Amino acid sequence: MKALLLSLFTVLAISAFAQTPEVTKKGSYTLTFSNNDPNLDPVVKERLISTFFKVYPELAKEYNKKTAKKVYMMIDTAYKGVAETDNAHVRISAAWMHKKPEDIDVVTHEVMHIVQDYGQTNGPGWLTEGIADYARNKFGVNNAAAKWALTDYKQGQNYDNSYRVTARFLLWIETHKRMNMVKILDKQMRKHTYVDSVWEQEAGKTLDGLWAEYIANPTL
């Protein structure tokens, strides 16, 4: 019974703790930060918030000035993944931040999804995640300390592997074929006008053709 009471007390304490969101407004943007983990390092919390206000305006300026002005972020002890985003709400695993306290740029990836605002896009999901990791690589504030980097090419990879594999391919295209390719793709995805022919029209070859050239010489 004592253990049961202690467990109930812990649940109630965490629940009460989660009912005090912190609202911060800077410039045009407002972040409501919630946290149901009383053991979260206050330094990590402040770094997550400061990263949001550093990268979100930059992402908005680069890709979508009409992005949401109010964003909600929660550190959640019940969430078993790493992070997810839906409708300007970002949820980050408390366990992940304990395990990887330097992975502050999980925020950069997730808020890029808010900026993307693709909704029910007709474009491929692997490209959505690839663009988000491309943005993390370009705009992230702590990638090196988190030991996060784009994935070097390895035999067997494909452009639709998503995340860092796709992101590096996109960077290669911008380096060797077409500057601002990501901005072109991002705009099409948001407007629901994505077509496979965009690769050949803008970068000179089909997607498969670009990938074949990439794997032949993947140097950035």
- Tokens standing for residue 84: 């997810």
**Residue 124 pLDDT > 70, yes or no?**
yes
| CB burial readout 164-192, b (16+ within 10 A) else e | bbbbbbbbbbbeebbeebbebbbebbbee
The Cα 171–Cα 60 span in angstroms is 20
- Residue-wise pLDDT for 50-66, tens only, equals 999 999 999 999 999 99
**Residue 13 pLDDT > 70, yes or no?**
no
- Residue-wise pLDDT for 138-176, tens only, equals 999 999 999 999 999 999 999 999 999 999 999 999 999
> How large is the average pLDDT for residues 183-197?
97
- Confidence bin at 120 (pLDDT 50/70/90): confident
Helix pair angle (163-176, 207-216), 10° resolution = 90
CATH class of 19-117: mainly alpha
Domain residue ranges of the chain, discontinuous segments joined by +: 19-117, 120-220
pTM: 0.91
Token pair 């605002």 in the structure block, residue: 117
